Amino acid sequence: MIVYPHINPIAFSIGPFFGVGPLQVHWYGIMYLIGFAAAWSLARYRASRPLSTWSGLDIDDLIFYCAIGVIVGGRLGWCIFYGNEVIYGRGTTPRDWLNIFRIWDGGMSFHGGLTGVVIAAMLFARAKGKRAVDVFDFLAPLPGIGLMAGRLGNFINGELWGKPTNLPWAFGVPNAQGVLIGRHPSQLYEAALEGLTLFLILWFYTKKPRPRLAPSALFMIVYGIARFSVEWVRLPDANIGYLYGGWLTMGMLLTMPMMVIGAIMMVYAYRRNGVSGNLKPADGP
């Protein structure tokens, strides 16, 4: 069993400035910056390919739109599905609407962030005269590194632990009585599966032209399988618990439709075999 090192969630402090501060920079926030920077760099690289219909300015605008969508959607989604007590108050948690902005304390929902990105991408597509489905396909391989970084942020914050286990790579986490309990490092499982594995599969899959909608479908399928798998060993949020039968979690409930819809989209994409709008025809102007 590995003893959890209890990493300080605050990476560094700056200030105070003019009697205010110090400004505390959290690792969780740094992980989001890493994710956005990685997505921007990867998108810029893809946009520079021959025949790409994307410009550097398109990428800058796209990442700005999506950053807003991730933060707003992720936080609202978490408050709605997992942590609405931060707004309405419950037990010893006072009612405080300002808690919704405390993203540096954690509490971001992937499904809420995905919804925010979908809305942001649709607004971007409308502003740029692109088809929304092409924007979705272009985005598909980009979030993996950010998802991995976000899960590492969860690990640093010491949150989202897994169930007790005797496996040699279990992390010893103290319970309420201070006794070390070996637990699955579910944050690291998710970083590896939802993050790195998802990125590698989507990145290499999209290196070649694929039918329109197929990259988006593959993203939903791979993420869904990865998230659903880890949910079996991850503890549910304490304020929600299991939804049914001592095994069904909110994460499973939100993820199952992704896999089904993704599979339907993939079949549709290959049957229709539409040409992506992200690349110009080889014999075009």
116-175: pLDDT as tens digits: 999 999 999 999 999 999 999 999 999 999 999 999 999 999 999 999 999 999 999 988
Q: What is the largest CA-CA distance in the chain?
A: 70
* CB-CB contact of 17 with 125 (8 Å): no
The per-residue pLDDT for 195 is 97
**Does pLDDT of 222 surpass 80?**
yes
1-14: pLDDT as tens digits: 899 988 999 999 98
- 28 or 20, which is more confident: 28
**Does pLDDT of 91 surpass 60?**
no
51-76: pLDDT as tens digits: 999 999 999 999 999 999 999 998 88
What's the average model confidence in pLDDT over 220-234?
97
Taking alpha carbons only, the member of 202, 197, 190, 196 closest to residue 139 is 202
239-269: pLDDT as tens digits: 788 998 889 999 999 999 999 999 999 999 9
The per-residue pLDDT for 171 is 96
**Does pLDDT of 34 surpass 60?**
yes
- Please give the distance of CA 225 from its chain centroid, rounded to a whole number: 14
Residue 89's pLDDT band (boundaries 50, 70, 90)? low
The per-residue pLDDT for 85 is 66
Residue 107's pLDDT band (boundaries 50, 70, 90)? confident
Residue 108's pLDDT band (boundaries 50, 70, 90)? confident
Q: Comparing 16-30, 149-163, 193-207, which segment has the lowest mean pLDDT?
A: 16-30
**Does pLDDT of 201 surpass 70?**
yes
| Neighbouring residues of 92: CB distance < 8 A, sequence distance ≥ 6 | none
SS3 174: strand
Q: Whole-prediction pTM value? A: 0.89
Q: Comparing 78-87, 150-159, 185-194, 222-231, which segment has the lowest mean pLDDT?
A: 78-87
Pairing type for strands 23-26 and 10-14 reads antiparallel
CA dist list (Å): 109 to 73, 174, 203: 8, 25, 23
